[in-house]
C-alpha cells in the first residue's frame, strides 16, 4: 500500500516549476527584508538571556539544528519517499525557526524571552548551520538512493546564497538598530508584520504560478507535511521533557522547533546553480510547510492558552 502511495508521488521528481527571474528577484528581496527585520529585534538582552537560562537555550538549539535534521533523515530513509520529497523535507529541517514563533509563544503563555533569544541565535547560527546541515544530510541521502537524474549539492553556492540573503541583511539590521535605536523602535513592529504578509504573498504567488501541479498533488502531500511538522513539534517537546525543563520553556522549545523559516528553503530551491530543473516536489514541500506550520502553530498555541487558563482557574478554586 505504501509503495503505491510513493508511486503516485514519483512524477514530482520530474516536474519543472514555472518561476521567472522577476519572481525570483522579488523572493530574494522579500527574504532579505525579513532577515533585516529580524535583526532589528535582536537586542543585548537576548544575549544576556543565555547566561540566565543557558540550559534551555542550548537544548532549544540542539533540537533545532541537530535533532530535527537527523530525525528527518531517518524518516525519509524509513518511508522511502521520492527524491524530491525527501530533499524538500531535509531542506526545511535545515532552516532556522520562523519569526512568527515569538507571537505564538506569547499566545501559548510560554517563555517569550526565551523564544526571542532562540530565534535570534537560530537566525545567526543558520548562516553556518543551514547550509552545513543540508549539504551533509542531503549528500548522505543522495548516496543511498538510485537517481534517474543525477544531482549534486554545490555547497559553495548554498553558502554563498545564505550569506548574501541572510548574513548581509542580518549584519545590516544589527548595525541599523544600534545606530538608530529610536527609529528602530518605531519601525520594528510594522516591518515584522509586513514581512509576514510579504512572505505569505510570495508563497501564494508561487503556488498560483504552478496551480495545476499543486492541485494535482496537494492531497497527496498533505499527510507528509502534517507528519513532518508533528515530528518537529514532538522533537522539541520530548527533549524539553527529558531535560526536566519548566512547562513554560517546554512550550517555547516545542514551538521553536516546529516553526521553520521555509522561505529560506524556497530561495535555495529556485536558485538554478543549486537545483537543476525538475524535482518540483522540493518546492511543494517547502511551500506547504510555509502555510501549514502557521496554522498548526496557532492551533497548538490557542490550545495551550486555553489549557493554561483552565488550570489556573482550577488552582484558584482550590
Task: Give the total number of structural domains in the chain.
Answer: 1
C-alpha cell at 242: 527529558
Question: Is residue 8 a part of any domain in this protein?
Answer: no
- The low-confidence residues of the chain, meaning pLDDT below 70, are 1-2, 18-21, 23, 46, 49, 147-153, 271-279, 309-318
> How much is the pLDDT for 316?
46
In a domain, 210, yes or no: yes
Give the chain's mean pLDDT. 83
Say whether 260 sits in a helix, a strand or coil. Answer: strand
b vs e for 60-96, b when ≥16 Cβ sit within 10 Å of the residue's Cβ?
bbbbbbebbbebbbebbeeeebbbbbbbbbbbbbbbb
Q: How confident is the model over 77-95, as pLDDT tens digits?
A: 998 888 889 999 999 999 9
Residue 124 lies in a domain: yes
227-250 pLDDT, tens per residue? 999 999 999 999 999 999 999 999
- The reported pLDDT for the residue numbered 136 is 92
Q: Is residue 4 part of a domain?
A: no
For residue 79, being part of any structural domain is answered with yes
Rg, C-alpha atoms of the chain: 19
Residue 3 lies in a domain: no
* pTM (predicted TM-score): 0.86
For residue 247, give its domain range: 20-317
Residue-by-residue DSSP string for 27-82: HHHHHHHHHHHHHHT--HHHHHHHHHSHHHHHHHHHIIIIIHHHHHHHHHHHHT--
The three cell numbers locating residue 94:
535545515
CA distance 220 to 110: 34
- CB distance 225 to 211 below 8 Å: no
- Identify whether 15 is part of a domain: no
Cell numbers describing residue 92 = 526545511
Q: Is residue 6, in this structure, part of any structural domain at all?
A: no
Give the CATH number for residue 181: 1.20.1530.20
Amino acid at each position: 500500500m505504501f509503495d503505491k502511495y510513493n508511486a503516485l508521488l514519483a512524477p514530482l521528481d520530474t516536474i519543472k516549476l514555472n518561476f521567472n527571474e522577476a519572481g525570483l528577484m522579488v523572493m530574494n528581496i522579500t527574504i532579505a527584508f525579513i532577515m533585516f527585520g529580524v535583526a532589528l529585534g535582536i537586542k543585548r538582552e537576548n544575549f544576556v538571556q543565555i547566561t540566565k537560562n543557558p540550559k534551555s537555550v542550548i537544548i532549544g538549539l540542539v533540537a533545532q539544528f541537530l535533532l530535527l535534521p537527523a530525525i528527518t533523515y531517518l524518516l525519509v530513509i524509513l518511508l522511502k519517499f521520492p527524491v524530491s520529497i525527501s530533499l524538500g523535507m531535509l531542506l526545511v529541517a535545515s532552516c532556522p525557526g520562523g519569526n512568527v514563533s515569538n507571537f505564538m509563544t506569547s499566545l501559548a503563555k510560554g517563555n517569550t524571552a526565551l523564544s526571542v533569544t532562540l530565534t535570534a541565535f537560530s537566525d545567526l547560527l543558520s548562516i553556518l548551520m543551514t547550509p552545513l546541515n543540508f549539504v551533509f544530510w542531503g549528500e548522505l541521502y543522495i548516496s543511498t538512493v538510485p537517481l534517474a537524474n543525477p544531482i549534486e549539492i554545490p555547497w559553495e553556492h548554498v553558502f554563498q546564497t545564505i550569506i548574501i540573503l541572510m548574513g548581509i541583511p542580518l549584519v545590516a539590521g544589527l548595525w541599523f538598530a544600534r545606530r538608530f535605536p529610536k527609529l528602530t523602535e518605531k519601525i520594528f513592529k510594522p516591518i515584522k508584520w509586513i514581512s509576514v504578509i510579504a512572505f505569505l504573498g510570495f508563497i501564494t504567488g508561487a503556488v498560483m504560478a504552478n496551480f495545476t501541479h499543486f492541485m494535482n498533488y496537494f492531497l497527496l502531500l498533505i499527510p507528509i507535511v502534517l507528519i513532518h511538522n508533528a515530528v518537529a513539534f514532538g522533537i522539541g517537546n520530548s527533549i524539553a521533557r527529558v531535560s526536566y525543563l519548566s512547562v513554560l520553556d517546554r512550550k517555547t522549545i516545542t514551538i521553536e522547533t516546529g516553526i521553520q523559516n521555509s522561505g529560506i528553503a524556497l530561495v535555495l530551491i529556485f536558485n538554478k546553480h543549486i537545483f537543476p530543473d525538475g524535482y518540483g516536489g522540493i518546492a511543494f514541500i517547502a511551500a506547504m510547510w510555509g502555510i501549514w506550520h502557521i496554522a498548526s502553530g496557532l492551533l497548538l498555541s490557542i490550545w495551550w492558552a486555553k489549557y493554561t487558563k483552565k488550570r489556573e482557574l482550577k488552582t484558584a478554586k482550590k
